[in-house]
């Protein structure tokens, strides 16, 4: 949901697929999870240039840009988006990356301005927590501690209680 603090507007996230990568299932799964968590999500579609992504991020006034690359071009495309956002004065926009990214590259990407980098198997709950923490830090200061997801309540509407019969 919206991060509490000075601003109560919903977190706005832009999910983008830079470069020529044509695989978007993971990006769509993350987009839906963020939406289901109460965030406003804009999905740009496939094959976007860094310039198109930055233009959309500024026009949509997003808090977070999530980038997904499976093609191996992450070391070129992700820093380019960060650099363009900074050049346009959008220093408060959090940039996250995901894909098949070796840990050595992930460390370098964090040094070059990405808030965090996610690999295969990262839970959507973890991504939601990171997005909320990052936005909270940008809006207010240090983030609250992560919380455990609440267990789903069983549906009981219209359910009948079992009939107990005594044995004789």
C-alpha 27/C-alpha 165 separation (Å) is 53
In the chain, pLDDT over 90 holds for what percent of residues?
Answer: 75
Strands 40-43 and 12-16: parallel
The total of other beta-carbon atoms located within 10 Å of residue 110's CB is 13
pLDDT category of residue 161 using cuts at 50, 70 and 90: very low
Is residue 15 predicted with pLDDT exceeding 90? yes
* Interval 37-56 mean pLDDT: 97
Domains and CATH numbers, the chain: 12-139 (3.40.50.280)
Q: Is the pLDDT of residue 129 over 60?
A: yes
pLDDT at 56: 98
11 has a pLDDT exceeding 70? yes
- 121: CB partners within 8 A, 6+ apart: none
pLDDT digits (tens, 9 = 90+) for 66-84: 999 999 999 999 999 999 9
Confidence label for 152 from pLDDT (cuts 50, 70 and 90): very low
Contact 54, 33 (CB under 8 A): no
Which residue did the predictor score with more confidence, 7 or 81?
81
For the whole model, what pTM was predicted? 0.80
């Amino acid at each position: 949901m919206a991060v509490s603090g000075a601003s109560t507007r919903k977190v706005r996230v832009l999910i983008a697929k830079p470069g020529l990568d044509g695989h978007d299932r993971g990006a769509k799964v993350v987009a839906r999870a963020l939406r289901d968590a109460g965030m406003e999500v804009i999905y740009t579609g496939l094959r976007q240039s860094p310039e198109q992504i930055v233009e959309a991020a500024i026009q949509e006034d997003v808090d977070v840009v999530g980038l997904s690359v499976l093609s191996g071009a992450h070391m070129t495309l992700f820093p380019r988006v960060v650099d363009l956002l900074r050049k346009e004065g959008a220093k408060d926009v959090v940039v996250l990356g995901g894909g098949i990214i070796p840990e050595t590259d992930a460390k370098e990407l964090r040094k070059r301005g990405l808030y965090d980098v996610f690999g295969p198997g990262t839970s959507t709950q973890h991504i939601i927590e990171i997005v909320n923490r990052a936005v909270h830090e940008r809006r207010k200061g240090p983030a609250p501690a992560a919380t455990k997801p609440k267990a789903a309540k069983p549906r009981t509407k219209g359910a009948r209680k079992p009939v107990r019969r005594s044995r004789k």
